[in-house]
Structure 1
Amino acid sequence: MNNCLFEVVDQPIVIESIIKKVENRNAGAITTFIGTVREITGEKRTIYLEYQAYKPMAEKMLMQIGKEIQEKWQGTKVAITHRIGSLDISEVAVVIAVSSPHRKAAYQANEYAIERIKEIVPIWKKEQWEDGESWMGDQLENKRYPRGEPEMKENNK
């Protein structure tokens, strides 16, 4: 598996270039997940996010996620790029592209990838709000509740 499929970068992500990495003549589907910086989380207004990572380990863990996906969903190809640094509202923080012979596997593998990123990849984000800031990304918080669950509850109100 080629490491350029799994990158942590400090420049804006070119979405089309990530999709091109997974194009395959045997793929009937390519799904993409594009994670962006949102302005409102619950009751708080975000000004910007700052991402930091232990880049060598983060890329190694992204590659591990790619291997897990290929074992679970045969015929898939995966590329994941995560951005670090200061990101403004609406900027792209992460792009996951998965190609597969069939669409269901591509969707499932893509969702699996973002959940695994939040579980095991050493990337941390600082949310800068109007009235303060907070670091997120402690993988130990997964022991208290599944990552993403509180956010999903807030967004489904």
Structure 2
Amino acid sequence: MIQLVHEPIDTQAILAAAAHPHAGAVVLFLGVTRQLTAGRETESLDYECYPEMAICKLRELEEQARAKWPLLHCVVVHRLGHLEISEASIAIAVSSPHRRAAFEAGQWLIDTIKEVVPIWKQENWQDGSREWVHPGTGLPKAT
């Protein structure tokens, strides 16, 4: 299940979607808005994307993860719009018969999503400045 949402992420619904009677492991990862980034104080974040492109790429990654690991379910939900400190921007839940596959798949998914999915993050700093962080680089571009 792949979703882009504008409302807060419902972690209970995500865990329910990842549940499976053959699962010995369900791993949930949440990426949340942190207050400090490289010593700078973050006020908030804004996420934007071209939804059709982002969903297409997320589906490709889901297929790749399923080919690499014996996953029963794979759920990726990314939030768009304005996020305050401590709000989740992404949730990834994977279930598998054994924990190692679930942990490895979850980590691979978040690392790869941050590299290749065209979802753009704007860092809104406490001092009033803003910077866009481009996928794959992790580097901000001043605005």
TM-score (norm 2): 0.92
Which residue pairs with 1:32 in the alignment? 28
In 1, Cα distance between equivalents of 2:71 and 2:121: 33
State the secondary structure of the residue aligned to 2:124.
Answer: strand
Name the structure where strand makes up a greater proportion of residues: 2
Name the structure where helix makes up a greater proportion of residues: 1
Gaps of 5+ in 1: 142-146, 149-157
Matches for 1:63-74 after TM superposition, within 5 Å:
63-74=59-70
- 1:76 shift after superposition: 3.5
- 1:125 shift after superposition: 0.5
Measured on the aligned residues, the alpha-carbon RMSD in Å equals 1.3
Matches for 1:7-18 after TM superposition, within 5 Å:
7-18=3-14
Matches for 1:117-132 after TM superposition, within 5 Å:
117-131=113-127, 132=129
Q: Please say which of residues 102-111 and 66-75 is displaced more in the overlay.
A: 66-75
The alignment-based identity, stated in percent, is 37
In 2, Cα distance between equivalents of 1:17 and 1:57: 25
Asked whether 1:41 is paired with 2:37, we answer yes
Runs of 4+ in structure 1 deviating by more than 3 angstroms, as ranges, are none
Which residue pairs with 1:151 in the alignment? none
- 1:68 shift after superposition: 0.6
Q: Please say which of residues 113-122 and 103-112 is displaced more in the overlay.
A: 113-122
TM-score (norm 1): 0.84
- 1:73 shift after superposition: 0.4
Which residue pairs with 2:85 in the alignment? 89
In 1, Cα distance between equivalents of 2:78 and 2:123: 16
